[in-house]
Amino acid sequence: MECISVFDMLKIGVGPSSSHTLGPWRAAEKFLAEVRAKNMMDNINRVKVDLYGSLSLTGKGHATDLAVMLGLSGADPEYIPVESIDVIISAIKNKNEIFLGNEIIIPFHVETDIVFNRNFLPFHANGLTFTAFTDSEEYTSTFYSIGGGFVVKENEDNQKSESKNAFPFPIDKATELLEYCQKENKKISEIVFENEKSMRSEEEIHNELLRIWDTMLECMYIGCHTEGTLPGGLNVRRRAYDMHKNLIGVLPYEDPHSWLQIIRQTEVKFRQILKWVSCFALSVNEVNASLGRVVTAPTNGSAGVIPAVLMYYMVIENHDANEEHIKQFLMVAGEIGSIFKKGATISAAMGGCQAEIGVSSAMAAGALCEMMGGTPEQVLMAAEIAMEHHLGLTCDPIGGLVQIPCIERNTMGAIKAINAAELALETDAKNAKVPLDKVVATMWETAKDMNSKYKETSEGGLAIGVGLADC
């Protein structure tokens, strides 16, 4: 039984993709740690990166090549100022050299030192191999980016966290979570909090959850205040800017927090609610598509769903919502995401978009349901409903970019999450026909049956129906 923390499921990083950007970036960092441990660093005169499978097929559009260069440069995706990304990449390309691990400068030719191999490695669709050369030896290491920024090293995929038995309430399945809630007479968020406390102090949990929320809020704020066209060649016009302008009108604010307060004063009939929620989701994914800072939730492609639904709760449902509500929401969302990760996948290369938007929608639905007073049974039911209506959703990004259908799809995931929460709140959970664990298992079976054309390869669906030339 693997212990997955809320902070594993919700990670601060850089867009556009958790599996194709954040994961490879982290893999490069791990590789650097390995060569340092082998005392090779000072003698390295070349580094080569081989990308395989989906990382190769959609790697250009998902900025995998940039991610490995940034990782090899020693940059941290959580803290790097996003405006310095261009500077680092341009320097590598212009000088044909890289400042490896921020320690030594070696030659690096992007065209030949990053190799896009179309074949798939056996363990996972997202494989990448790093090779370091010295005058006398070479060292090779293979990693897999298994979704949501999680990375495993070849032949170590079954390694579990050392803290695996540290959780007082170890959870693999929704049924186990529910049993703990019933036995302890606790909400899901309270059970999750107990587990988190076994890993870090209450103060740390508090600060880190609020740091995640602040990052989400700032991301929505930036997205709603940035106009123009997204990079990548599809000429996708940012829509959050205009939508936000129409919704907010002339009301004054000066920063993300005063903005949030002001939104509470706007008119919110059904149409405006739909537009606000969509606007929040669009804003995050437009920032994500432009290599901005986002919270992986549980992936970057689906990063807009959870902030949009939490913001909906804060500005529309509960004007008194405070830090405690935010923490509660994120803890429930994280736990539901981890149940999907353990029982199925959060990798689009393994399960299509049901693994991204479907899971994020389920996470948001469950979290919202608890905030609105749902019982643990209803929370799990909300998550189940949200996923049930995403089963089979394919991943077919046009041009390999995390833009179409990805950005809009976050709005759909967010709205579905709200609907699922409301349905669950109006239902006696005893009458549920499909338990959450069944839908998790079904999602995994569906993932295995899905043709690889629809699993983040851009070889089917919209990706071939609509070409770059059409855009």
Q: Where does this chain bind ligand SF4 (CB under 6 A)?
A: 301-302, 348, 353, 356-357, 395, 397, 402, 405-406, 409, 456
Return the number of the residue (73 or 411) whose C-beta is nearest ligand SF4. Answer: 411
Angle, CA of 157, 144 and 340, to the nearest 5°: 70
Question: Which residue type sits at 274?
Answer: L
The Cβ of residue 115 has, within 10 Å, a number of other Cβ atoms equal to: 14
Return the number of the residue (88 or 348) whose C-beta is nearest ligand SF4. Answer: 348
Return the number of the residue (307 or 435) whose C-beta is nearest ligand SF4. Answer: 307
Backbone angles phi, psi at 381, to 5 degrees: -65, -40
Using CA atoms, how far apart are residues 249 and 319, in angstroms rounded to an integer?
Answer: 20
Beta strand pairing call for 114-116 and 46-53: parallel
Question: Which residue type sits at 148?
Answer: G
CB proximity list for 450: less than 8 A, separation 6 or greater:
351, 352, 392, 394
- Least CB distance to ligand SF4 at residue 380 (A): 24
Return the number of the residue (367 or 463) whose C-beta is nearest ligand SF4. Answer: 463
Return the number of the residue (234 or 348) whose C-beta is nearest ligand SF4. Answer: 348
Instruction: Note whether 377 and 367 are within 8 A (CB).
Output: no
Return the number of the residue (3 or 67) whose C-beta is nearest ligand SF4. Answer: 67
Using CA atoms, how far apart are residues 340 and 40, in angstroms rounded to an integer?
Answer: 39
In angstroms, the Cα distances linking 401 to 127, 246, 470 are 19, 28, 15
Backbone angles phi, psi at 406, to 5 degrees: -55, -50
> With b meaning 16 or more CB within 10 Å and e meaning fewer, what string describes 4-39?
bbbbbbbbbbbbbbbbbbbbbbbbbbebbeebeeee
- Least CB distance to ligand SF4 at residue 358 (A): 9
- Least CB distance to ligand SF4 at residue 37 (A): 34
Q: How many CA atoms lie within 13 A of 395 on its CB side?
A: 28
- Least CB distance to ligand SF4 at residue 301 (A): 3
Return the number of the residue (290 or 302) whose C-beta is nearest ligand SF4. Answer: 302
Return the number of the residue (315 or 406) whose C-beta is nearest ligand SF4. Answer: 406
Residue of minimal CB distance from ligand SF4?
A: 301
Return the number of the residue (142 or 458) whose C-beta is nearest ligand SF4. Answer: 458
Tokens encoding 187: 């909400």
- Least CB distance to ligand SF4 at residue 441 (A): 20
In angstroms, the Cα distances linking 223 to 90, 244, 366, 384, 457 are 25, 9, 26, 30, 27
Q: How many CA atoms lie within 13 A of 150 on its CB side?
A: 25
Using CA atoms, how far apart are residues 447 and 347, in angstroms rounded to an integer?
Answer: 10
Q: How many CA atoms lie within 13 A of 451 on its CB side?
A: 7
Instruction: Note whether 398 and 342 are within 8 A (CB).
Output: no
Angle, CA of 240, 244 and 246, to the nearest 5°: 125
Return the number of the residue (356 or 384) whose C-beta is nearest ligand SF4. Answer: 356
- Least CB distance to ligand SF4 at residue 342 (A): 19
Three-class SS state of 452: helix
- Least CB distance to ligand SF4 at residue 360 (A): 9
- Least CB distance to ligand SF4 at residue 282 (A): 13
Return the number of the residue (315 or 395) whose C-beta is nearest ligand SF4. Answer: 395
- Least CB distance to ligand SF4 at residue 142 (A): 23
- Least CB distance to ligand SF4 at residue 62 (A): 8
- Least CB distance to ligand SF4 at residue 236 (A): 13
